[in-house]
Structure 1
């Protein structure tokens, strides 16, 4: 006999997963009302359906902004979808706002995904790790394995999609996007972003200016 699923349980599951009401009800019925199991079921289902849509063309969307309290950090992010209808939904705008907030919170993030990281950056990280003192006495095989692990960790730190979502630490930004793909039934992509930090770069410019003035004086 199936356990009766309450409306409150369905709403709770929907709030945690972003899945549709019908899907939440079915997942709860299949899990005998156990929310944790239902979440895993929906996540697996959502990720599978999202992967099928990942190659669809996205030409709509919006540019969203986030300015952190104190107005010292600001972010602009472009989030794309397939239709203007989805782009105009409050939930889609909230998703964009959450992504922008995530970028503001993760100072190490520089790229949307690991696929966007230039080869020269990867080579730099590899060489940087190879030259560390704690690897000098290691064999070549051990050294390469350690470097590979450290570089992979560093590339994940640079990638937005690899970050744990600040509002729900049990999922990554990539999983958050895929859950919304499943929810809306169309492809969604973070195209690009820009982070602004108050005063960033001013010190180096001032140092350059000071050096130029000093050189002019010394050459007189």
Structure 2
């Protein structure tokens, strides 16, 4: 199948990948747009894995203010070079992450960083709910483990579904950006402020 420039442009619009990468992906998949998108995402994953250990000492701090000034977020996004820190796609990603944090209110960046006391409190609630519903103790443990897994996926930023596109997690978006920029990028920290609410 002949790969047209319109097909390449459509794939580029969908993925923000480079023109040559889009053309190669379409050639490899015989012009199948969905398979080409998947191929480019896998390439992003591979690049992200290769670059994961590299230091991210450059970057930006981005803010998002919402709801008439009653809700705000600051996020620090790290990268390897000043060149990437000034890139529009990098800055747009930082803004999207700040906006996502405002909407989704994560507790931590990764599940490992969720404070132990919060996990313990949730576990106690789930155990009590299961026991109150009359479930046998052998089943309670399995139920609680499943609920804790689900809870961690909901409160860990990298595992949350992106509010603008629930098909992708924040980790998926980060991997795509790493693939596109060609260097390690990390969400270093964030703070969410809401008037009248102690975080």
> What TM-score, normalized by structure 2, do the two folds share?
0.92
Partner of 2:180: 183
Distance 1:160 1:123 in 2: 19
Distance 2:162 2:9 in 1: 21
Partner of 1:41: 39
Residue-by-residue CA offset, 1:80-132 (whole Å, 9 max, x unaligned):
0011110011111111001001111113x111111211222222222221111
**2:53 is equivalent to residue 52 of structure 1:** no
Pairwise CA distance, 1:200: 2.2
Distance 1:46 1:70 in 2: 37
Within the candidate set 155, 170, 173, 2:170 is matched to: 173
Pairwise CA distance, 1:196: 1.5
> Matches of residues 2-151 of structure 1 in structure 2 within 5 Å?
3-107=1-105, 109-133=106-130, 137-151=134-148
Q: Helix, strand or coil for the counterpart of 1:33?
A: coil
Count of matched residue positions in the alignment of Structure 1 and Structure 2: 198
* Structure 1 runs not aligned, ≥5 long: 202-220
> What TM-score, normalized by structure 1, do the two folds share?
0.84
RMSD (Å), alpha carbons: 1.6
Partner of 1:216: none
* Structure 2 runs not aligned, ≥5 long: none
